[in-house]
Structure 1
Amino acid sequence: MSAQPQPSPEIRVQSRHGLGVLCGIGAGVWLGAAEAPTKLVHAGLSPYAISLCMVAGVFTARWSVPTLLKGTRSVFRDLGRNPQLIPFAILAGMLWAVANTLTVFAIRDVGLAIAFPLWNTNSLIGILWGRLLFGELKGASAANIFKVLLGTIAIVAAAIMLGFSTMHGGGVHPTHALNGILAALGASLLWGSMYIPYRKAYLSGMNPLSFVTIFTVGELVTMFALVLAFDGGLHAAVFHSSVVTPMLFWLFLGGFVWVIGDLFQQYATKYLGIGRGIPLSNTNQLWGLAWGALVFGELAHADATHRLLVVGGSLAMIAGAMAVSTAIATERESASTHEAIERECDRYGLDRTHVIHAYNGVAQAEDKREWWDWLILLGAAGVFIGLAVQARVPALLMNYAWTAVLTVILIASAVVCGWGLHKRTRFS
């Protein structure tokens, strides 16, 4: 029997690029929805308490979702092949935890409308790190460089327009404005730098599902340390206040939604690189605005100018995303990526064949689920059910019809992205 013909390198690059674009757009849909629980900052909870509760939900999801998709045996085998990446994963988790806490401070001090576009400038930082450390866009055509840079700038500009579209009436108190702006910019720097360990991991052949499992250890440990150091220690309200318990389900749910979006974002980073993956996932502000305007009525009293900003910002963000998504890597740019893979293999003595197959998303053999995998999944489900029983619907006006519509879009995007990853790579 003759062997099956192998696709050409150009076809493989295009297939990988298309999958990365699909995941980047899916990431934007889910990450935008995850911002809704941040509204609970006005319920009297401290930024540290909100961030810790969300990270606890993230921790629960980080272990249950990879277990469901691949099983723990696959995760730990992957970690065993790349033990040098475990400290990088923990470091990335620590950066995320601090950045997430800074965003809650920023929202409290200057509002989501101003804070969101400021921390979304992490896409520009990501392009810089990608070029300096991993040779991204090295050898790229002038047209691709133009598309990525112009598309990223358009997305950032659109984020600013969408941010200003929600500002009508009132204003930001000048006493807190500087602190809020600095917090948002600090989050941008940390989130832009967080992708350095991610990209390093994927160039070494590590599966995103494995990397994020260890990543969450750094998140949770860092958040506990921040609460103990700055929010009252063991006497912090998050451990004792009766106000926290009814809110936990919603914060855990926000963390879970964020994890799904982040997983798609990591596959986008793996298959597109930092410079292309982050801008696409940063279209989350468009979806965050949809939740704010359609579900929570944030634009109900906006005037014509603010509505024009919404339309203009939305069109600019779509145009920016289209520019980035059509910048398919050329042969010379792909060669620079393989040079980065070779450096990682030489540095850590990795199996080149395995690393290249893993990076290209070649499907690996499925592992049998162990009995403890089902215990992990049952435990995670039990946590959410237990918190749901004690939950109280926040005192927020909501349009339930639009909530249903956007929820359907969430589920549909997860099905499409999940099907694409499973069919093309078996989540490799």
Structure 2
Amino acid sequence: MSEASATRTPSAVNIGSRHGLGVLCGLAAGVWLGAAEAPTKLVNSGLSPFAISLCMVAGVFTARWTVPTLLKGSRYVFADLAAKKHLLITAILAGMLWAVANTLTVFAIRDVGLTIAFPLWNTNSLVGLMWGRLLFGELKGASAKNIAKVVLGALAIVAAAVMLGFSTIHGDVASGVHAGRAVSGILAALGASLLWGTMYIPYRKAYISGMNPLSFVTAFTIGELGTMFALVLALDGGTKAAVFHSPEAKHMLFWLFLGGFVWVIGDLFQQFATKYLGIGRGIPLSNTNQIWGVAWGALVFGELAHADLTHKLLVISGSIVMILGALAVSTAVATSREHTSTNDSLVRECSRYNLDYHSVFEAYAGVENKDREQKRGWWDYAIVAVAVGAFIYLGVNARVPSLAIDFPWLCILSGVLVVTAAVGGWGLWKATRFS
């Protein structure tokens, strides 16, 4: 332990240097996760929530294998997984939690509408904040000012999510809510919040063990897809489920795959934010996705076209509160005492699993180890080609949903997605080489 103790002071300084990068990733995650909610409009398509969730997870699975392969190569990913075998089970478990939570959100949307369900499941930031403090010592040693910024900022973002959610409740939207299922819908949304907040325990454990987020999500997706197949086979008709036989499902797969793919881009930014900021700071920042979800609904799909002044004021007020909450969290730069607590978590993890402290610390701090760089094999290009081919095939067979779409705003918000990914990706590559 004396060797580890001797490294704590410089370690704390190096860990703290990633705060700005973590904030950038958290905000970028909000932009992409908000855009991924658009395909949930298909919950009224006739397919069951299990079927919709399975289709989205199939898109997620495709993205989780393709993006890490593009950025680092499969040799790098598998070498990282092999060096941290003890984390494979936790990664698969996290994927299982995500799959169940995602299915619960589809039930919640069906029963009470996206407007009410979204802010309820976004309380996962408060669940994550609790787990981060109890299990990983986050905010331990933090100044009273920083604690207030993180806690009040997270609460402000949740409150803003509620305001933005209720801003879209007017005649047309409210009529789509199943009053008889309100209780089950609310419970489903809260269950998703609990599972998604708990899911970040394996994430944080992986990162303080030195695992790359790109490697973790590759194993993570096995739990996702396996769980969704099991749910469909057990609870949605087995092999006779409509998702496997319905001709209509074929025409909607592209949009659900696309939603899953967009979600993964946001989730990857979210993982890097969790790595460099911790659960308590990273998740509230990524939960600014609510403001972007409302932007897509209002500007692209015209959901607020017939809203009255009260609802429009809720949008403005909610947006301001969310921005202030995000500003509070993003400016809560951890002190050296808090970094020492984080370093203690790294030391405990290394002692528990007999890991090399210096290697783990360098990986956690985002210092690329050149010895682990791996050349890409021909199969990497094959993985990417198969993914592109799948999207082309599904796109050719897709039907454009019968929704009124404002194409100028669609182009503008799509442009925001591209710019955000470019800036966030460049920041990660330049500072850490996606480590």
* TM-score under structure 2 length normalisation: 0.96
Q: For residues 384 and 216 of structure 1, what CA distance do their matches in structure 2 show?
A: 19
Q: For residues 342 and 95 of structure 2, what CA distance do their matches in structure 1 show?
A: 25
Q: Which residue of 2 is the match for residue 326 of structure 1?
A: 331
Q: Which residue of 2 is the match for residue 246 of structure 1?
A: 251
Q: Which residue of 1 is the match for residue 4 of structure 2?
A: none
1:12-411 aligned within 5 A: 12-169=14-171, 170-171=174-175, 172-365=177-370, 366-411=373-418
Q: For residues 357 and 391 of structure 2, what CA distance do their matches in structure 1 show?
A: 41
Q: For residues 422 and 220 of structure 1, what CA distance do their matches in structure 2 show?
A: 29
Q: Deviations over 1:140-169 (max 9, x none)?
A: 000000000010000000000000000012
Q: Deviations over 1:26-66 (max 9, x none)?
A: 00000000000000011111111110000000001100100
Q: For residues 410 and 178 of structure 2, what CA distance do their matches in structure 1 show?
A: 31
Q: For residues 355 and 107 of structure 2, what CA distance do their matches in structure 1 show?
A: 42
The answer to whether the Cα contact below 8 Å between 1:52 and 1:224 also exists between their aligned partners in 2 is yes
1:412-427 aligned within 5 A: 412-427=419-434
The answer to whether the Cα contact below 8 Å between 1:13 and 1:329 also exists between their aligned partners in 2 is no
Q: For residues 363 and 200 of structure 1, what CA distance do their matches in structure 2 show?
A: 19
Q: Deviations over 1:168-227 (max 9, x none)?
A: 124544311000000000000000000000000000000000000000000000000000
Q: For residues 173 and 216 of structure 1, what CA distance do their matches in structure 2 show?
A: 32
- Post-superposition shift, 1:78? 0.3
> Could you tell me which amino acid in structure 1 is paired with residue 374 of structure 2?
D
Deviates more, 1:376-385 or 1:168-177: 168-177
How large is the RMSD of aligned CA atoms in angstroms?
A: 1.1
* TM-score under structure 1 length normalisation: 0.97
Paired-residue identity, %: 72
- Post-superposition shift, 1:12? 3.3
- Post-superposition shift, 1:13? 4.1
Aligned length: 422
Q: Which runs of 5+ in 1 are unaligned?
A: 1-6
Q: For residues 188 and 14 of structure 2, what CA distance do their matches in structure 1 show?
A: 41
Q: For residues 144 and 328 of structure 1, what CA distance do their matches in structure 2 show?
A: 7
Q: Deviations over 1:85-121 (max 9, x none)?
A: 0000000000000000000000000000100000000
SS of residue in 1 equivalent to 2:247: coil
Q: For residues 393 and 248 of structure 2, what CA distance do their matches in structure 1 show?
A: 16
SS of residue in 1 equivalent to 2:164: helix
Residues 284, 83 of structure 1: alpha-carbon distance in 2 compared, 3 angstrom cutoff:
same
Q: For residues 380 and 58 of structure 1, what CA distance do their matches in structure 2 show?
A: 11
Q: For residues 175 and 259 of structure 1, what CA distance do their matches in structure 2 show?
A: 34
Deviates more, 1:384-393 or 1:22-31: 384-393
